Amino acid sequence: MDHLTKTENSVKWQSPSNIAIVKYWGKKGIQIPMNPSISFSLSNAVTETEIVYTPKQNTEEVSLDFYFNGTRNHAFEDRFLKYLTQIKSEFKLLTQFHLSINSKNTFPHSAGIASSASSMSSMVLCLLSIEHKEKQLSKDAFLKKASYLSRLASGSACRSVYPGFSLWGKTSVLHSSSDEYAVPLSEIHPVFNDLQDSILIVNSKQKKISSSAGHLLMELHPFKEARIEQANQHATQLIKALKLGDFASFIRLCETEALSLHAMMMTSNPSYVLMEANSLKIIEKIRQFRNDSGFDLCFTLDAGPNIHLLYPKLIKEEIIKFIKAELLVYCESDNWIVDEMGNGPKKLDKQFYER
Ligand code: DP6
């Protein structure tokens, strides 16, 4: 095969965003989490990344240009350049080729949904495909390496390389777990296999404090040890609930985690608040509707004001009615996004052999 023909000089992957149930909050060393986290990959909120690579003079410098939705983006370019320079010993190709990276999100950029997990993991998957196109790396080894390298770019990105639920961070209840990469959670009861995520956009503006700044504030947080202990217990309990199909425990853990995350922000020094009045209104409505209807639904939040409403597909129709009747009034311009658990990343180009 001639690898230098025009069509074979590019590779393209799609990778999803994910929503954490047990939250990663606080890190140590080089992107090592203070506590284990568990999330599931989404289906619609994905980034598509294509890397076109052309041979260049073999210098030590990484060289790239980065386009977001077809337009050159210098802010992203600087972030990618910094990351790729950091990991250049992992990839020979980084010194052999000039990279033109083209990325686009299928979800609105302004929706206030974190995109670093999907964008970083899709970029890493492209690089690994180029580097390993002739090596017979097993699918498991390929994904483990993708998870490891994604973690170095953005912690939550390491959980995006798997379908369904995954766990990142060492925990005594799962032997294969690691601080260095995420692992898929395979023993999942069917009641959790088709989880829906309706994302209620309370405010789409970029958050005031980045997650990276929030992680840093955990280092000297007065509740640091208690939070690490709590997250470890929650991870253990969630793994069990997912295995048994225990939706009541899932709801309790999911909501406690979301509120603990925000409590950490409110009690850090300096303290800050990312929830808004309408986030609290929605939370109140969700709890009331759950009490009145007996349906299995619950909320979680990322590091922002938007509410992820989670529920099984079986009750989708009723929940959508509830959203339209009672929640949209608290959303910015009636804005909400329909998503659900997804099947993980997908290779979009067909030039190379399929794994
Ligand atoms: C609240 O992965 O964005 O979404 O490693 O600094 O890139 P960096 O942080 P990031 O943090 C995500 C935090 C969270 C919880 C979670 O996804 O587990």
Same domain, 227 and 154: no
**Are 256 and 168 in the same domain?**
no
Greater confidence (304 vs 355) lies with 304
In a domain, 348, yes or no: no
> Mean pLDDT over residues 26-46, rounded?
97
Looking from the CA of residue 168, the nearest atom of ligand 1 is 18
Task: Tell me: do 179 and 199 sit in the same domain.
Answer: no
For residue 19, what is the enclosing H or E element? strand 10-22
For residue 276, being part of any structural domain is answered with yes
Closest CA to 49 of 140, 125, 139, 114: 125
Given 152, 187, 222, which residue is the final one in a domain? Answer: 187
Task: Say which CATH number the domain at 64 has.
Answer: 3.30.230.10
Among protein residues, the one with the nearest Cα to ligand 1's atom 12 is 156
List pLDDT tens digits, range 172-197: 999 999 999 999 999 999 999 999 99
Lowest mean pLDDT segment, chosen from 109-113, 153-157, 213-217, 230-234? 109-113
| The pLDDT of residue 326 | 98
Whether 2 shows a pLDDT value over 50: the answer reads: no
309 and 177 both lie in a single domain: no
Residues 231 and 128 in one domain: no
CB atoms under 10 Å from CB of 136, counted, come to 9
pLDDT of residue 351: 52
Same domain, 166 and 215: no
Both 266 and 128 in one domain: the answer is: no
- pLDDT > 70 in the chain, percent: 94
Contact 192, 250 (CB under 8 A): yes
**Atom 6 of ligand 1: nearest residue by CA position:** 212
Whether 146 and 281 share a structural domain: no
Average pLDDT over residues 101-125: 84
Domain termination site, one of 166, 187, 208:
187
Q: Is 171 in the same domain as 239?
A: no
The whole-model pTM stands at: 0.95
349 located within any domain: no
Q: Which of 21, 22, 24 to mutate to test the pocket of ligand 1 (most atoms within 8 A of CB)?
A: 24
Confidence bin at 90 (pLDDT 50/70/90): confident
Q: What is the mean pLDDT of residues 318-344?
A: 97
Most ligand 1 atoms within 8 A of CB, residue of 211, 216, 300, 308 to mutate: 211
CATH number of the domain that 299 lies in? 3.30.70.890
Instruction: Output the pLDDT for position 319.
Output: 98
Judge whether 354 lies within some domain: no
pLDDT at 185: 97
CA of 20 to the centre of ligand 1 (A): 9
For the cut 90, the answer to whether the pLDDT of residue 313 exceeds it is yes
Q: Which of 187, 218, 249 is the last residue of a domain?
A: 187
Distance, in Å, from the CA atom of 103 to the CA atom of 66, rounded to the nearest integer, reads: 8
Tokens (6 digits) for 301: 């939040």
CA 124 to ligand 1 centroid distance, Å: 17
Return the SS3 of 312.
coil
Consecutive H or E run containing 98: strand 97-105
Residues 89 and 51 in one domain: yes
Residues with CB under 6 A from ligand 1: 20, 23-24, 37, 114, 116, 154-156, 211-212, 215, 261, 302-303
Residue 208 has a pLDDT of 80
Cβ pair 15, 116 in contact under 8 A: no
- % of the chain at pLDDT higher than 90: 83
**pLDDT band at 140; cut points 50, 70, 90:** very high
Arithmetic mean of pLDDT, 72-82: 92
Confidence band, pLDDT 50/70/90 cuts, at residue 245: very high
Distance CA 189, CA 246 (A): 9
Q: Do residues 103 and 48 lie in contact, with contact meaning Cβ atoms separated by under 8 Å?
A: yes
What value does the mean pLDDT take over residues 142-151?
97
Residue-number span of the structural domain to which 45 is assigned:
2-187
Average pLDDT, integer, range 37-66:
93
How is residue 62 written in tokens? Answer: 């990484």
Q: Which of 110, 354, 137 is nearest to 148 (CA)?
A: 137
Same domain, yes or no: 250 and 141:
no
Q: How far is it, in rounded angstroms, from Cα 340 to Cα 44?
A: 7
Lowest mean pLDDT among 63-72, 128-137, 296-305: 128-137
Q: What is the mean pLDDT of the chain?
A: 92
**Domain count along the chain:** 2
Vertex 83: Cα angle to 37 and 352 (nearest 5): 85
Q: Is residue 350 part of a domain?
A: no
Distance 31 CA to ligand 1 centre (A): 10
Question: Is residue 286 over pLDDT 90?
Answer: yes
Given this model, what pLDDT does residue 109 score? 61
Atom of ligand 1 nearest to the CA of 19: 17
Query: Which residue, by CA, sits nearest to atom 4 of ligand 1?
Result: 302
End-to-end CA, the chain? 17
Instruction: Assess if residue 281 is contained within a domain.
Output: yes
H-helix segments, 87-158: 93-96, 116-131, 139-153
The pLDDT of residue 355 is 36
- Pick from 36-40, 108-112, 208-212: least confident: 108-112
